[in-house]
Each structure stands twice: as C-alpha cells, then as structure tokens.
Amino acid sequence: MELQDLYTKNDSLILENCTLCPRECHADRFKSQVGYCGMDAGMNISSVCIHRGEEPSISGRNGICNVFFAGCNLHCLFCQNHEISRPGTMIRNRVVDLNTAIDQIEKILSRGINTVGFVSPSHVVPQVKALIMALNSHGLKPITVYNTNSYDKYETIHDLSGLIDIYLPDYKYVTPELSSEFSDAFDYPQVALKAIKEMYYQKGSTLRTDENGQVENGLLIRHLVLPGHAEESKKVLRKIAEELSPGVHLSLMSQYHPTWEVREHSVLGRTLYKAEYEAVVEVMEDLGFRNGWVQDMDSHQNFQPDFSRESPFE
Ligand code: SF4
C-alpha cells in the first residue's frame, strides 16, 4: 500500500505541502522533505508502551497504551522527552509502519487496557487518524487521548471532533517572549488558547468516568510549573479561569526535572522549590479551581523516561 493511501485526500494534500501546524513549513513530507518537526509522512512512532504515570483517572488501574511519536513542532529547551523529540536523535523511529503499530497496540489492549494515548501528535495528526481508523476496522474502539503541547491549529482540533474522547492539552505560557525563549514559538500563547478553547467547546468542563473512576470523555488541562517562573504559572491559571472556566479539570504539575541539556541553565538547571509550587497552588485555589490534580514535590524522581528501553517508564 502506498503511504498516501493511509490518509484522507485532504490530509494527503496537507502533508504534500505541509501546513498541518502553525509553523506552515510547506515541506513535501511524502518526498522525505522535512520541516521544523523533522518528520516525513510515515508513522514516525518511537514507542508503543504501557504507561502508568498519567493522572490516576487517565491511567486507571492497568495503565494506558501510549503511542509516543518522534519529533515535535515545539523545541522546548527543557523537553522531558528530548531523546525522541529532537531532530537528529538516535532513538527515534522504531515502529515505522501502520501494521506493526496496530499489532503492538492490539497486544497491549488484550491485557485489559482500554485507552490509547497519542503523545506529541500535533505534527502527525493524519497518522493519528489512520491509527484510529485501522483500530476501528479491526473491531477495536479504545478510548482515545490526544496528549498535546497545544501548538495546534484551531482547524486541526475542530477536525478531530468525534474522533478523540479525551483532550489532554498543555497550556505552557501566556507570555510570548517566554514561549519564544523556551519553546521557539512567539505565538504559542494565542495559538494554544484558541486550540484549547475549541477542545472546551467540544467537551465542556465535565470529565465523564466509568464505574472504576477512569476517564472516558472530556478535557483535562495540564500545566507544568517551571523553576523561577511561578508568576507565569499564576498568569496561566488566571487566563484559563477567565477565558474558559475555573470549573475545568486541571493537572498542576511539579515534576519538572532538568535534562542534561539545561543542567547549566541559570533558571532551568534546577528542580522546583516547594515554596514556588505552593504559591501557585494557592492561586489555583483562590481562583476557584476545584477539579483535578496536584503533585507531590518528589514527583520529579518518578517521571524521567528512558526511550532506549522497550518500556521507557517501567
Ligand atoms: S507539521 Fe512539521 S512540517 Fe508540517 S508545518 Fe508543522 S513543523 Fe512544519
């Protein structure tokens, strides 16, 4: 089967002259031209594995089947998945074709797991759709999670309506200078807010759960508090409360851990201070957020993947 046949006509046209994400590189990804994300029109999967480290209601009792894509349309200085997200890293495309990916997902689903998460999908949305369609054609209808940095076009999210059960977007910054410095995307605050608003339009504030408390449908916004940037985090929370609602579900993360790339960075080279995190939690409570999760201060020890292993999180 030709690669083009995996995708809808419209998605093939987009990949041929790539304007999938806000970077709009116009690369022909079928001809192995690559744009900012560094990825062609193939599946670009680094790992399909069980992950138990998402929020308890997302992971459930048995964990979630996560599909980690290689490459990314943001180049965050502090990326916790830098082993697979950076251009030129060695540990990248392991699962290159659709059938292999489906086999691996099916094996994991047969172990009593019913949720499939697509991690860093913004530059591979046609591939995500192809995977969901292939699973459906095998008679499998897992709960689907779109786990995104939110540097997504509004149109992309609009187009995913009905295909995605759970949106799990980051909202990283509201200050363009900071998103430019740390993630090389000056327009991130406005682009991400627009994308998250569309997710909110589709899902509202309710997280629907099953009898075991595992999420089946809804929106959960994540925010990682960065060292030295508690004030930015407070602004992010205010923005969410004002532009969406303090009724949304929020995951306020303290798990930041400096990778070797930022070990010498003046601010990003350390973990978060307890006082910084607590100040943000206080604002979260003052703003009326009541739904969601906070983390322990030692969580940074538990969330460092090693993508050279078959099970990066085990
Ligand atoms: S998906 Fe990749 S190639 Fe396409 S516009 Fe975005 S960064 Fe560029």
pLDDT in tens, 253-296: 999 999 988 999 999 999 999 999 999 999 999 999 999 899 88
* The predicted structure's pLDDT at residue 92: 58
More confident residue, 150 or 89: 150
Q: Is 27 in the pocket of ligand 1 (CB under 6 A)?
A: yes
Q: Is 15 in the pocket of ligand 1 (CB under 6 A)?
A: no
Q: What is the pTM of this model?
A: 0.93
Q: How far apart are CA 188 and CA 176, in angstroms?
A: 7
Q: Is 126 in the pocket of ligand 1 (CB under 6 A)?
A: no
Atom of ligand 1 nearest to the CA of 36: 7
Cα three-residue angle 287-289-294, rounded to 5 degrees: 120
Q: Is 210 in the pocket of ligand 1 (CB under 6 A)?
A: no
Q: Is 38 in the pocket of ligand 1 (CB under 6 A)?
A: no
What is the average pLDDT score of the chain?
A: 91
Neighbour-count burial of 115, counting CB atoms closer than 10 A to its CB (0-12 exposed, 13-18 middle, 19+ buried): buried
Task: Return the residue whose CA atom lies nearest to atom 2 of ligand 1.
Answer: 37
2 falls in which pLDDT band (50, 70, 90)? confident
Q: How far apart are CA 148 and CA 139, in angstroms?
A: 26
Q: What are residue 262's phi and psi, to 5 degrees?
A: -115, 15
The 10s digit of each residue's pLDDT in 8-57 is 999 999 999 999 999 999 999 999 888 999 999 999 999 899 988 888 88
Which of 187, 157, 192 has its CA nearest to residue 172? 192
Atom of ligand 1 nearest to the CA of 15: 4
More confident residue, 95 or 47: 47
245 falls in which pLDDT band (50, 70, 90)? very high
Q: Is 153 in the pocket of ligand 1 (CB under 6 A)?
A: no
Atom of ligand 1 nearest to the CA of 19: 5
313 falls in which pLDDT band (50, 70, 90)? low
Of 12, 19, 23, the residue with max ligand 1 atoms within 8 A of its CB, to mutate for a pocket test, comes to 23
Residues 131 and 119: beta-carbon distance below 8 Å: no
Task: Return the residue whose CA atom lies nearest to atom 1 of ligand 1.
Answer: 123
Of 18, 74, 188, the residue with max ligand 1 atoms within 8 A of its CB, to mutate for a pocket test, comes to 18
Q: If you count them, how many residues does the chain have? A: 314
* The predicted structure's pLDDT at residue 52: 87
Task: Return the residue whose CA atom lies nearest to atom 6 of ligand 1.
Answer: 21
Atom of ligand 1 nearest to the CA of 14: 4
Q: Is 18 in the pocket of ligand 1 (CB under 6 A)?
A: yes
Task: Return the residue whose CA atom lies nearest to atom 3 of ligand 1.
Answer: 35
* The predicted structure's pLDDT at residue 296: 83
More confident residue, 130 or 300: 130
Instruction: Count other Cβ atoms within 10 Å, centred on residue 245.
Output: 13
* The predicted structure's pLDDT at residue 96: 73
* The predicted structure's pLDDT at residue 309: 59
Residues 123 and 185: beta-carbon distance below 8 Å: no
- When mean pLDDT is compared across 55-69, 80-94, 193-207, 289-303, the lowest value belongs to 80-94
